[in-house]
Homo-oligomer: A and B are copies of this chain.
């Protein structure tokens, strides 16, 4: 295991300070103090305070995107399989966010108003996720699992409910355990809705 490099220390310290103070209030001098290096050292590894933030955001987006974000319909034989894949998928992303609370918080909350480039990264990510979600709705409907729904609207609803759980339960409250259970509760609601039965809801 190699010794911790200054670059590592700085990125870690940057995540911490950006998170504690917010992007604008964070001072480069705080980051370097936190990292235990001199101020000038920051600029050996990052061209600017801005770019260090962008790199954090890019890293997080790559990290999340490396998780399987799409359903594998080949392996889905029935509703239960589908439900399981959703639970797996949600759980893995919950886990990544739980493991990187600081950066996840920056990504979802701070990025839009921190920096244009960072905002673009987040925006692209959101669009990508909504697109995948919308496609899944179409695919699932074709295969007879899902009702016919407005894909554009409902994909946003799905992403939104997932995102708010991440923000409130994982990031804000700091929950790191029983994330699968959390995913199961969410998926149960997602697939069946609030009403006790189809009958009751429409009668």
Contact = CB atoms under 8 A, between A and B. Distances in A.
Interface of A: 22-24, 78-80, 83, 109-110, 112-114, 126, 130, 137, 140, 144-147, 149-150, 152-154, 156-165, 167-169, 182, 185-186, 188-203
Contact of A157 (B78, B147, B189, B196): B189
22 contacts: A24-B24, A80-B203, A83-B201, A113-B113, A113-B114, A145-B195, A149-B188, A153-B189, A156-B161, A156-B168, A156-B169, A157-B186, A158-B161, A159-B164, A160-B164, A164-B164, A191-B194, A192-B192, A193-B193, A193-B194, A196-B201, A197-B198
A23 B24 CA distance: 10
A196 B142 CA distance: 11
A6 to B, nearest CB: 17
Secondary structure of the A contact surface, majority rule: helix
Contact of A182 (B144, B153, B199, B201): B153
A197 to B, nearest CB: 2
A22 B195 contact: no
Contacts of A158: 161
Most buried by B among A130, A164, A201: A201
A133 B146 CA distance: 26
Contacts of A192: 147, 192-195, 197-198, 201
A196 B199 CA distance: 7
A121 to B, nearest CB: 15
